[in-house]
Amino acid sequence: MIRKLLIAFVLIIFTGVANAQIVEPVKWSFSQNKISDNEVELVFTATIDDGWHMYSTDLPEGGPIKTSFYFEDLENAELLGKPTPNKEVVEKFDQSFQMDLKWFEHDVSYTQKVKTTGAGSVSGYIEFMSCDDEMCTPPTQAEFSFNLGGESQQTAETAASSTTDNSDTRNYWSIFFLAFLGGLAALLTPCVFPMIPMTVSFFTKQSKTKAIGIRNGLWYGMSIILIYVILGTVVTAVFGAESLNSLSTNPWFNLFFALLLFVFAFSFMGAFEIVLPSSWVNAVDEKADKGGLLGIFFMAFALALVSFSCTGPIVGALIVEAARSGGLAPVIGMLGFSLALAIPFALFAAFPGWLNSLPKSGGWLNSVKVVLGFLEFAFAFKFLSIADMVLDLHILEREVYIAIWIAIFMGLALYLWGKIKLPHDSPMNHLPVSRFVTGTMVFAFVIYMIPGLWGAPVKLISGFPPPVDYAESPLGVGRTMPAGAYRSGNSAGTMALGMHIGPHGIPLFDDYEEALAQAKETGKPLLIDFTGKGCTNCRKMEDNVWVNQQVKRKLVEDFVVVSLYVDLKTKLPEEEQYVSETTGRKVRSVGNKWTDFQISRFNRNTQPYYVILNENEKQIGEGYSYDPDPKDFIEWLNEGLTKFRK
């Protein structure tokens, strides 16, 4: 508590008492550039305080509130395309929402092209949300108005950062590492592994001296890398970095990716082979026969074509995943894949004596291929899940997804134990120790996932299944409560009219007036939880503090709790909309209403924020902000109860 008082004291000194708790981390400026006689470019520039981030216009459903542009009045003007940012987004996996989220830091400028037919105007507002490591602001609206009849206007804009964000770097490293593992897996397939001794034989005959052999081997490895990196570069150039970024939440692209992975998976399992036209291979073989460095390059190209039936599905899956990350990820991915593929070929070509240490080809190569097929089959459902959530179909909900993964990996365990046979499998007289151990580990993974059907977090697969709230039973399969009932520890109770089950089974209201009436009727203090559907730190408080049994018992037994969501987009009836006397902004939605209530009554605009009121709506003690320590929260609740009962 002492730490919080010191922080508040510093804020008061530097910003003044009246506005000490109101934060505005994002500030907008607007300008326009005349492109031609009938075309104007509108520029919306957001300057973001250090340590804060503003969410992108491209976010999956069920996450925070994305930045949205609303063009309400257009006079003699027509929008061309959509607002486009001038820099790449920062993308990170958020544990609270169990999904990848995109945002901007420091600054960003959006541009919107407009076609004009003479003097005209464009007006509307931007709705956006920002967060730092401890709090979030509610969805905020920035009004704009452009007069398209005058000269081109220019305002000072913050230059876009040219440096690469650390999170982008970390993401590229993860893509590289994943791709490198994919390259190692490709080496152990029946299309690639037998090519190693054939390659060594070729270089042994062509290299007159050891030095020439080393040179040829290194050039061969570099050629493999060059071919695959060119492939990644082409993908990036064709689609563009911004287009690739948008693929992650586009339902139709995700459906296409899922179908692609299903095809690759069935191919690996032996249903059919994916082969390139033989004329392509023959044409490249002719070039390779010419010898020299160019001939070695075409030999590497021939390797890529001949082994395509095995490497193609892995390369395809890697490009799909890299494309979802956008930017240079496809290039980085192909660099990692080709490096893992090239190193053994280059080394064995340069030092053919090492060939004796390689294991012999056999049925184990096909087993590796089938295992990869199972993995691609499982990953395909991730893309189906994204499409399902974006379209809000609720077909592939959390329980269904986990059940499918349990079935897939159970099948993989049975395959490894030799209980399932697939085409191209060699006869097996006994179960190798390696397959028994691997199968047992997969079976243990299956057992680990089963409690996920009953609401367990299953953190090992975090980010693959849909979030907990995108489920048939948010409390877990088989865990339902009778209407109007709740449970706290070992005691049960009945919920009042207007209550519903909230996080971790805590009964609460979502309407202030109903909650206040209940507090007066029961003689309990009213605890207001200013929160948001898209508030990451609100979820952290619930998952780290509200889940605590002592906290949960106090909230259920000693308080009436109301959660006011400041980001609800539900429109208020026209007669209930108004202009806030405090902020001067128009209150259009339920979320705007609770935001204005928080600012006007408590001089705060960040979430999470908790306030305790008595029966006369007077605040008891200080409010409570983000602090994921249950002991501090319990202390604050006890202080409020003590003051309320005096």
Neighbours of 558 (CB within 10 A): 16
Q: Is residue 445 part of a domain?
A: no
DSSP 573: P
What's the average model confidence in pLDDT over 507-526? Answer: 92
The CATH number of whichever domain residue 143 belongs to comes to: 2.60.40.1250
Q: Are residues 505 and 378 in the same domain?
A: no
Q: Are residues 183 and 134 in the same domain?
A: no
Q: Are residues 199 and 117 in the same domain?
A: no
pLDDT of residue 286: 59
For residues 380 and 269, give the distance between their C-alpha atoms in angstroms, rounded to a whole number: 15
Q: Is residue 495 part of a domain?
A: yes
* pLDDT over 90 at 195, yes or no: no
Residue 536 near residue 96, CB atoms below 8 Å = yes
Q: Which of 356, 372, 396 is where one domain is finished?
A: 396
Q: Are residues 60 and 196 in the same domain?
A: no
pLDDT of residue 204: 59
Q: Is residue 329 part of a domain?
A: yes
CA atoms within a 13 Å half-sphere pointing along the CA-CB vector of 499: 23
- Please identify which residue in the block is written with the tokens 């550039």: 33
Residue with the bigger pLDDT between 240 and 106: it is: 106
Q: Which of 353, 381, 396 is where one domain is finished?
A: 396
Q: Are residues 512 and 627 in the same domain?
A: yes
What's the average model confidence in pLDDT over 447-476? Answer: 74
Instruction: For residue 163, name the pLDDT band (cuts at 50, 70, 90).
Output: very low
Q: Is residue 471 part of a domain?
A: no
Domain, as residue range, for 62: 26-147
Q: Are residues 526 and 631 in the same domain?
A: yes
What's the average model confidence in pLDDT over 126-137? Answer: 81
Question: CB under 8 Å to 642, separation ≥6 — which residues?
Answer: none
pLDDT tens digits for range 611-637 = 999 989 999 988 998 888 899 999 999
Q: Is residue 155 part of a domain?
A: no
Q: Are residues 196 and 142 in the same domain?
A: no
- How many domains, in total, are found in the chain? 3
pTM recorded for the entire structure: 0.46
Residue with the bigger pLDDT between 14 and 300: it is: 300
Whole-Å CA distances, 191 to 377, 615, 622? 20, 76, 69
Whole-Å CA distances, 28 to 31, 81, 88, 275, 518? 10, 21, 19, 54, 42
Q: Are residues 111 and 248 in the same domain?
A: no
Q: Are residues 517 and 566 in the same domain?
A: yes
Instruction: For residue 213, name the pLDDT band (cuts at 50, 70, 90).
Output: low
For residues 436 and 429, give the distance between their C-alpha atoms in angstroms, rounded to a whole number: 14
Q: Which of 366, 396, 426 is where one domain is finished?
A: 396
What's the average model confidence in pLDDT over 549-553? Answer: 89
For residues 399 and 414, give the distance between their C-alpha atoms in angstroms, rounded to a whole number: 22
Q: Is residue 276 part of a domain?
A: yes
Q: Is residue 209 part of a domain?
A: yes
Tokens standing for residue 302: 């021939």
Q: Is residue 366 part of a domain?
A: yes
Q: Are residues 528 and 575 in the same domain?
A: yes
Q: Are residues 274 and 382 in the same domain?
A: yes
pLDDT tens digits for range 379-399 = 888 878 877 866 767 888 888
The CATH number of whichever domain residue 490 belongs to comes to: 3.40.30.10
Residue 592 near residue 557, CB atoms below 8 Å = no
- For residue 234, the one-letter residue type is V
Q: Are residues 283 and 246 in the same domain?
A: yes
